[in-house]
Homo-oligomer: A and B are copies of this chain.
Amino acid sequence: MNISEAARQAGLPAKTIRYYEDIGLVTPPRDPNGYRAFRPRDLHALTFVARARSLGFTIGECRALLHLYQDPTRASADVKEIARRHLGRIDAKLAELAALRATLTDLVDACAGDQRPDCPILKGLAATA
């Protein structure tokens, strides 16, 4: 299977797949003409990584998860630990964004949004405190 078909099935841009090969996430063999020849298991790995990425796992985590995925002697505790850590990051990010949203909402609500120059948003941003 050529790269464009692999890309279609995995739901990834061909560019991304080449990048994943560069960093060693997949290692498809080559046809005599130099084209990448994706095997079913390469496609599985790509699909796996695509889904993990879409859940926000970093490439490093994807690599670790992929290793575990391909290791029949894995312990589910190792997988869970990676996911739990990622969940912690998500929660932290959510809290941060919620705080930003609150501050920004206050500023936006206080601003008349008309043709006059007076603007609580700018005042808030300029505040030294």
The chain A residues found within 8 Å of chain B, CB to CB, are 44, 47-48, 51-52, 55-56, 65, 68-69, 71-77, 79-81, 83-84, 86-87, 90-91, 93-94, 97-98, 100-101, 103-105, 107-108, 111-119, 121-122, 124-128
Contacts and interface: CB of A to CB of B under 8 A. Distances in A.
20 contacts: A44-B126, A47-B126, A51-B126, A51-B127, A55-B103, A55-B125, A56-B100, A69-B126, A71-B117, A72-B117, A75-B115, A76-B122, A77-B114, A79-B111, A79-B122, A80-B111, A80-B119, A80-B121, A83-B121, A90-B104
Contacts of A126: 44, 47-48, 51, 69
Contact of A108 (B44, B65, B84): B84
Interface SS, A side: helix
Given A55-B103, A100-B56, A126-B48, A114 B75 contact: yes
